[in-house]
Chains A and B, each alone.
Chain A
């Protein structure tokens, strides 16, 4: 699932149109935020599961999620860079219009 989310995030992040920020944020949330969240969720579930004597923990599953989460965080940097452009433009415009910085 995490792998699928990353692929989707990459696809969404390719759009460079007017909704760049929104798509970048969605891409970031999916790649850089959701996968670590899922990893944490799995770790918590496995900790709780160990209480039950019938629970069989899946350490491989956790390892895969961990790798995916780290990969997702790295990929999310792409989205962050995309988001940074329009945000920097807005900040620049604000600085310019408010007279704080001249061209």
Chain B
């Protein structure tokens, strides 16, 4: 394991070929005997990922590597208390050894500048080591920091939130690319499936966000188009996703998702699944999925991967423990051996695993005597072995070629200084592909017989309509001539700047000064334009320069989020520049700059590629339209916590708002109806609680039916009301509940010390509000309202023992279509209502109970006041003790008139 990561990175830099071609005589082994010995651990997409990295390194000296390491709790222990997948922190050794190996590659003739960063992920992302140049001098300190971080500062804990880790790792790589552009690689190690908030829904949503497609079919949508991994591929990051599946347990969708994420396609629960743009476009960088069932096998997998990245290929000439090494093989490596293993060359040289490199033996073929059969002495070793050739192809760096005429660029073929192996020891065909920014391609095929050791030239005619063309060299069917041993293809790339004819000005490739951050901060960059090289004046015309808007907008040819439209482009020449219409005028020898910016309402993580057409003028009427490629990074700034807060606030407001509207509508429209021609009458009455009867109390009428219509007087007309004060009843009001789902109602609030009753009974939900005659409901239409009002003392009458209560009956009525008030019908209705109602009796009980409670709280016994006996009131004439009394006057309002004599009683 220690060598695993180390190997990956180490060998990355040996790309291109550190060849060690020592002459030897190989003993070819029949191909038939070798069948089945090649252990392909990578899928075709994974192989392409290796090629992509190798190709990139052939044209760049910088490699930005981010280690994204799982730090979830399962590394320390399983949920049921079992052993974790790496409870002994063996990953510390893996990482640190890889750093040491990396640092080796920063020296020598093919030295690379390596920038390294490392972060952990569990329930969230946690940075551990910021971007640090990796050199021999810094490696010790880095190792110490990583050890401290893993074993002390950031102990394993939490879930396996892939999205949190990958998103932040991507962000870190993006930022590093703006500082130090180069090849990009993410080594992503996880020991378990995606697990977010212990919720399947959250994990699915997070997986879809990473994948870009609804692989589950559950209807989830990615938070950004095409997903995070498509963005990684599009921006050139090769992701090597490693699943440590301890004991090879059956995988759930949570683990199986890893392959489609890394490689763009795979199987989830037996169904094929794709992520992002598929198949992966040629200008994207593929990723690779690697699975290991133990820390030990993970080490082997890393070693194999490392070997492939460094240009090795599976050896096909192995027979049991014998490896045939023909001329043309410069290095070989046996993987998966024990610490005591020995690799013996034909010359008798015995090689053992080097210190700290147990698990593999790496050997270089030193001289001709070592061509032949090598033997492996090891316990339980089985292939693969990896072999390397010595052939190296190095393209000319930063070449320029004039467009419109036949030009040539150089590339070198050699065997990296080997004296025993020559270029002619290999058979291959060199495939050359020229790709212009718009995707148009030209191809050439050159047999190895036409190539020489040393400098070679590629002849082609650059299309002057473009300012750049990418040339990709690939060896096809690379084999040693002797023994026909297949070797890994050599890939190399060069970008050729196409310059216009000398009578035209030149426009530099855009220098990006600001990345597109979200949708607020636009991407910014500048073109540097230079007068024609022939010393004459010239002009460069940008579409829309005079208006400040680049119109027509550049064509988007690459964007991970497929934002093909809605871009806002601006362009402006410097103040010193002479601009006529859309053209910048250039005096002989002059140079100036033109700035541009681009923004888009949708933010996404991407590398945006756009093509714009610029017209060059030679000052004498000649024009040359050229296409310029603008490439800038786009960053999506999104904090999940902000998203959650916004979501909660929006949903809360979104639900509250309609209810608030309902409440306001009810508040504005709920009004009691008063209207014109409304009459009102008040009658003193006696209510008998036992018989539920009502009788006139003023002596003017013998029964309720006798109450005359003359008592009804007209009220001042008003249309409607929210509140209406009645001198006897109290306040009539329209009430809107704070709960807008409840219908509004109309109620009478009696004056203090009085109670009120109507023909409407309150629903149980409002029982407390209306109990005891504290309030009374009515329909809202005053013309149909009647109400009985009693003083509380009258209603309670705790000591009187009488069934009669004196009160007032207030009746409203309206002349309807000229018909006069009909008191008889109205009174009959009132009496009927009262007969079927228990409201008054219940109110009495409530009042009695309250009175009792009040007395109890004062320590009084019933029938006493302050410990003293309450005097029994004398009965009225003609009444027995305990019957109706008016001894207690109403607390408010007019005093009640004396009780009239009952029919048949003594006056």
The answer to whether B460 has its CB under 8 Å from any CB of chain A is no
In B734-787, the 8 Å CB interface with A consists of 740-741, 743-744, 779-781
B673 at interface, CB cutoff 8 A: yes
Across the interface, do B603 and A40 meet the contact criterion of CB distance under 8 Å? no
Complex Cα–Cα for A81 and B650 (A): 8
**Pairwise interchain contact A97-B517, C-beta atoms closer than 8 A:** yes
Point out the residues of chain B lying under 8 angstroms from A51, CB to CB: 673, 675, 781
Residues of A within 8 Å of B, CB-based: how many? Answer: 43
Contact in complex: B650, A73 (CB < 8 Å): no
* Contacts A41-B665, A97-B521 given; does A92 touch B642 at CB 8 Å: yes
Q: Decide yes or no: A44 and B223 within 8 Å by CB, A36-B658, A95-B639 being known contacts.
A: no
Q: Which residues of A contact B636 (CB under 8 A)?
A: 89
Separation of A36 and B639 alpha carbons in the complex (Å): 34
Say yes or no for B577: interface residue by CB 8 A criterion: no
Residue of A nearest to B670 (CB): A47
Inter-chain contact B658/A73, CB cutoff 8 Å: yes
Neighbouring A residues of B602 by C-beta, 8 Å: 18, 86
A96 near B654: Cβ-Cβ < 8 Å: no
* Total A-B Cβ pairs within 8 A: 130
A91 to B644, CA, bound (A): 12
Taking a contact as CB atoms under 8 Å apart, the answer to whether B658 and A48 are in contact is no
Q: Output the least CB separation between B738 and chain A (Å).
A: 15
Q: Is the CB of A77 within 8 A of B518?
A: no
A34 CB to closest chain B CB (Å) equals 9
Inter-chain contacts of A37 with B (CB < 8 A)? 658, 661-662, 665
A35 to B658, CA, bound (A): 9
Nearest to A94 among chain B residues (CB) is B520
CB-defined contacts of A69 to chain B, threshold 8 Å: 658, 662
Q: Given A40-B661, A73-B658, A76-B654, is A97 in contact with B520 using a C-beta cutoff of 8 Å? A: yes
User: Digit string of A61-88 for contact with B (CB within 8 Å is 1, else 0)?
Assistant: 0000010010011001101110111111
Taking CB atoms, residues of chain A closer than 8 Å to B168 are: 103
Q: How far is the CB of A88 from chain B (nearest CB, A)?
A: 4
Q: How far is the CA of A95 from the CA of B740 in the complex (A)?
A: 37
Q: Find B518's partner among A35, A39, A73, A96 (CB 8 Å cutoff).
A: A96
Q: Which residue of B lies closest to A77 (CB)?
A: B651
With a cutoff of 8 Å between Cβ atoms, the chain A residues found around residue B741 in the complex are 66
**Closest Cβ–Cβ distance, residue A51 to chain B (whole Å):** 5
Do A33 and B642 contact each other (CB < 8 Å), given the known contacts A80-B650, A93-B637?
no
Residue interface mask A44-55, B partner, CB < 8 A = 1: 100110110000
Question: When the two chains form their complex, are residues B519 and A90 in contact, meaning their CB atoms are under 8 A apart?
Answer: yes
B605 CB to nearest chain A CB (Å): 11
**Contacting pair A87 B646 (CB below 8 A):** yes
Q: Which residues of A contact B563 (CB under 8 A)?
A: 18
Interfacial chain B residues near A101, Cβ < 8 Å: 639
Q: Could you tell me if B647 and A84 are in contact, using CB atoms closer than 8 angstroms? A: yes
Q: Contacts A77-B654, A103-B171 given: A90-B520 contact, CB under 8 Å?
A: yes
B221 contacts which chain A residues (CB < 8 A)? 16
Q: Is the CB of B662 within 8 A of A39?
A: yes
Contacts of B566 in A (CB 8 A): 18
Given contacts A77-B651, A80-B651, A103-B637, contact A43 B643 (CB under 8 A): no
B646 and A44 form a contact (CB under 8 A):
no
Docked pose: A5 CA to B40 CA in angstroms: 58
State whether the Cβ of B111 lies closer than 8 Å to any Cβ in chain A.
Answer: no
Pairwise interchain contact B661-A36, C-beta atoms closer than 8 A:
yes
By the criterion CB–CB under 8 Å, are A89 and B662 in contact? no
In the complex, which residues of chain A have a beta carbon less than 8 angstroms from the beta carbon of B517?
Answer: 93, 96-97
Give the most central of A73, A76, A89, A93: most B CB within 10 Å.
A89
Shortest distance between the CB of A55 and any CB in chain B (Å) = 11
Tell me, yes or no, whether B657 is within 8 Å of chain A by CB.
Answer: yes
How far apart are the CA atoms of A65 and B600 in the complex, in Å? Answer: 41
Question: Do B666 and A44 touch (CB < 8 A)?
Answer: yes
Cβ distance B380 to chain A, nearest Cβ, rounded Å = 48
Q: Would you give the shortest CB distance from A33 to chain B, in whole angstroms?
A: 5
Does B140 belong to the interface (CB within 8 Å)?
no
Q: Point out the residues of chain B lying under 8 angstroms from A2, CB to CB.
A: none
CB distance from A76 to the nearest CB of B (A): 6
Chain B residues with CB below 8 A from A44, complex form: 665-666, 668-670
Q: Does B355 contact A (CB under 8 A)?
A: no
| Residue in A16, A40, A92 whose beta carbon sits within 8 Å of that of B639 in the complex | A92
Residue numbers in B under 8 Å from A97 (CB-CB): 517-518, 520-521
B152 at the interface (CB under 8 A from A): no
How far apart are B224's CB and chain A's nearest CB, in angstroms? 9
Docked Cα-Cα span, A48 to B781, in Å, equals 10
Whole-angstrom distance from the CB of B270 to the nearest CB of chain A? 30
Residues A89 and B519 in contact in the complex (CB < 8 Å), given A48-B669, A83-B650: yes
Q: Which chain A residues lie closer than 8 Å to B223 at the CB level?
A: 85
Contact among A33, A35, A47, A103 for B657, CB-based, below 8 A? A33
Across-interface contacts of B658 in A (CB, < 8 A): 32-33, 35-37, 69, 72-73, 76
Q: B646 contacts A88, CB within 8 Å?
A: yes
Which chain B residues lie closer than 8 Å to A39 at the CB level? 662
| B780, A47: Cβ atoms closer than 8 Å | yes
Question: Beyond A40-B662, A92-B637, is A50–B781 a contact (Cβ under 8 Å)?
Answer: yes
Interface residues of B in 774-822 (CB under 8 A from A): 779-781
Q: How far is the CA of A92 from the CA of B224 in the complex (A)?
A: 15
Task: Tell me the B647-681 residues at the A interface (CB within 8 Å).
Answer: 647, 650-651, 654-655, 657-659, 661-662, 665-666, 668-670, 673, 675
CA distance A92 to B659 in the complex (A): 30
Q: A93: which of B521, B651, B657, B659 is its contact (CB, 8 Å)?
A: B521
Taken together as a complex, chains A and B put the C-alpha atoms of A33 and B744 apart, in Å, by 20
Instruction: Given A44-B665, A85-B643, A88-B646, answer yes or no on A73-B655 (Cβ-Cβ < 8 Å).
Output: yes
Q: Do A36 and B662 touch across chains, with their CB atoms under 8 A apart?
A: yes
Interface residue? B638 (CB, 8 A): yes
Assembled-state Cα–Cα distance A95/B639 (Å): 9
Are A32 and B654 closer than 8 Å at their CB atoms? yes
- Please give the distance in Å from B217's CB to the nearest CB on chain A: 17
B residues within 8 A CB of A47?
669-670, 744, 780
Q: Is B30 an interface residue (CB 8 A)?
A: no
What are the residues of chain B within 8 A of A28 when measuring CB–CB? 654
Say yes or no: is B859 at the interface (Cβ < 8 Å to chain A). Answer: no
- Residues of chain A within 8 A (CB-CB) of B659 are 36
- Selected from B518, B651, B780, the residue in CB contact (under 8 A) with A90 is B518
Bound CA–CA A88/B224 (angstroms): 13
**Bound: A51/B784 CA distance, A:** 10
Residues of A within 8 A of B646 (CB): 84, 87-88, 91
The chain B residue sitting closest to A33, CB to CB, is: B658
Most chain A CB within 10 A, of B565, B636, B637, is at B637
For A33, the chain B residues whose CB sits under 8 A away are 657-658, 661
Q: With A18-B602, A80-B651 in contact, is A43–B661 under 8 Å at CB?
A: no
In the assembled complex, how far is the CB of residue A86 from the closest CB belonging to chain B, in whole angstroms?
8
Per-residue CB proximity of B491-529 to A under 8 Å, as 1/0?
A: 000000000000000000000000001111100000000
A/B interface sample: 5 pairs, CB < 8 A: A16-B221, A40-B665, A83-B650, A89-B518, A96-B517
Which 10 pairs show the lowest CB-CB distances between chains A and B?
A: A40-B665, A44-B669, A93-B518, A36-B658, A88-B643, A88-B646, A84-B647, A80-B654, A92-B639, A80-B650
Binding site for B on A (CB under 8 A): 16, 18, 28, 32-33, 35-37, 39-41, 43-44, 47-48, 50-51, 66, 69, 72-73, 76-77, 79-81, 83-97, 101, 103
Known: A77-B654, A96-B639, A103-B168. 14 other contacts (CB 8 A): A18-B565, A36-B662, A41-B665, A44-B668, A47-B669, A47-B670, A72-B658, A76-B655, A80-B650, A86-B602, A88-B642, A89-B637, A92-B639, A97-B518
